[in-house]
Structure 1
């Protein structure tokens, strides 16, 4: 009789039956990066995604006897991860996407949003399930506007490409419920991403274009020259800008952004001394900005600017406080005599 079980199932079942925790961990560890990306799409926060991936492995070990080998191990782990995220989201009622007092404009800030380091993405492109569009910040933010269960249905169906029956089984829903939830989710995503390609499962380039690299270089050069006019010239008039995790920083025009930088003293001639390095996060062009003050000989990591570039202009600029994020893999400081050209 032919064994129809997925490849690798026998080794995993042997580890389950023997109670070999080390072997169990070795086999499941192969899926860590893709599961972490899955949790990030659900939660929009890198540190939470790390925690929930670990929770997935703990739940998998505790539920190991429930794995019978009919489905692929990967499918089983995704099911556990999805439900772990849903349990977490039920408790995250104090971290709503729309800050109190701000209008629901369809592009509101997600204050718990964190950038995702490219170096932590899956290495095998066949297993990465990370088309560039599905890890970009705008996509991640748009997904957060979906109710948790709709979010799970949308990610399983339209991002991972699961059939309705498989998603329904994972979420303990009917196929009709999954189909209805997906239709509502797609409507919301079209509203949130009106100008973006919506076929998220088709191939997409992972490399930055020369145009994108040129804009990042000009963006860094403008900072290093304290050239506010030069920086303003890189921005589209309808720029979307936010500096997270500060509430209420989202603006909708380039002029608003520049006015805010001026009033906030971002460029103070004779005081601000900037350096920057080119990097990528969320498979998007980014600049890591370092600031040196008159009483400090070292350039300290100040912020990370993640850019969405359209036709040579910055259409979206999301700034993140860079402190306390060693997982980004970006140097926390630069000596004044050592400024690398790029990273990532």
Structure 2
């Protein structure tokens, strides 16, 4: 059915017509909200708010821009409102019984960061970015990129995503933000500089192997073997010298092979042993971590996401076990 006919029916209150109009854009809007907010849960809330706002405001859609652009305008402003009005989830204290972590390198700022399941990326990249986009779609969903975005001021963040990730023209972005082209251009310049400062240490790293490639499979298999057997030497051999470890919503961050090795030694030193169940998050290898209990039942303790550089691991991010259901993973596994 033609878009004009669907819009007419939706304006008359036809919910099925509205869903047919918006469903092709749902996944990409969800990813957009996630980039803006850094939180899977907050992105889902913002997406629902966007669709409700679009449903209620469809009578005001005049067709000067495409329906997709109009939806991005609503989603962007919903996310900006969320950034202004809601307090971020607070940091949590260290909560692993019997393990005393080493002194961290620093305390992280983005403790609200959450992983995004790869299973929900299907359809998100169906529309290619505009010709002015500067980032590959896979890079723009990575944990490192999303984390770096979160420290930008909200309007700079919005402008950079709309221009450099999605490739909208400056005049389109100005219209979305009720701003001017000059203001958008200035905000983009500042945002690029801020992002570069945040991400510059990774500039000289080897690229990560392609998703699902033999190279990726090889390093993932070595990681699983080392971690499940608590082989600290084998695990450390997989890490880059400047490897980075974080564990939101706990703010502890560790940088450097020696410090990360000390952290892992503390985990392994309590005779804690884990089984890892593979999945994917943010376009990266990920694993549900399950602690083996004396009863044989294995309890989910969290989710690891790996960032690879060449044939090494350059970052490990550990999330709480509350994220496991998003990946279709159970809270516990039966005994073998």
What is the TM-score with the length of structure 1 in the denominator? 0.84
SS in 2 for 1:116: coil
Deviation at 1:183, TM superposition (A): 0.4
String of CA shifts for 1:314-340, please: whole Å, max 9, x gaps: 111111112354122223333333xxx
2:224 alignment counterpart = 220
Deviation of residue 207 (structure 1)? 2.3
1:55 aligns with 2:86: no
In structure 2, the partner of 1:330 is 329
State the partner residue of 1:45: 39
Structure 1 window deviating more from structure 2 (73-82 vs 14-23): it is 14-23
Output one character per residue of 1:55-109: Cα deviation in whole Å (capped at 9) or x when no partner: 0011001111111223211111110000000000001345589x9xx9998x944
C-alpha displacement of 1:127: 2.4
1:51-90 equivalent positions in 2, closer than 5 A:
51-90=45-84
Specify the alignment match of 1:116 in structure 2.
Answer: 116
Shift of 1:209: 2.9
> Which residue in 1 is equivalent to 2:170?
164
- CA shift in 2, pair 1:230/1:48, >3 Å: same
Offset from partner CA, 1:203-235 (integer Å, 9 cap, x none): x99623322222221111112212112111111
Q: How does 1:1-344 map to 2 (within 5 A)?
A: 8-94=2-88, 108-123=108-123, 125-127=125-127, 131-194=137-200, 207-247=211-251, 249-263=252-266, 266-268=267-269, 271-294=271-294, 296-337=295-336
Q: Distance in 2 between matches of 1:157 and 1:335?
A: 48
- Distance (whole Å) between structure 2 residues aligned to residue 272 and residue 94 of structure 1: 32
C-alpha distance in 2, partners of 1:206/1:220? Answer: 19
Query: Which whole-Å CA distance do the structure 1 matches of 2:249 and 2:302 have between them?
Result: 11
Q: Which has the higher helix share?
A: 2
Stretches of structure 2 that go unaligned for 5 or more consecutive residues are 94-102, 130-135
Alpha-carbon separation, structure 1, partners of 2:122 and 2:28: 6
Runs of 4+ in 1 over 6 A off after TM superposition: 102-105
Q: How large is the RMSD of aligned CA atoms in angstroms?
A: 2.7
| Partner secondary structure for residue 13 of structure 1 | helix
Q: Provide the rounded CA distance (Å) in 2 between the counterparts of 1:298 and 1:185.
A: 48
Question: Could you list the runs of 5+ residues in structure 1 that have no partner in the other structure?
Answer: 1-6, 198-203, 338-344
SS of the counterpart of 2:268?
coil
Q: Structure 2 length as normaliser, TM-score?
A: 0.86
Cα pair distance change 1:96/1:154, threshold 3 Å: farther
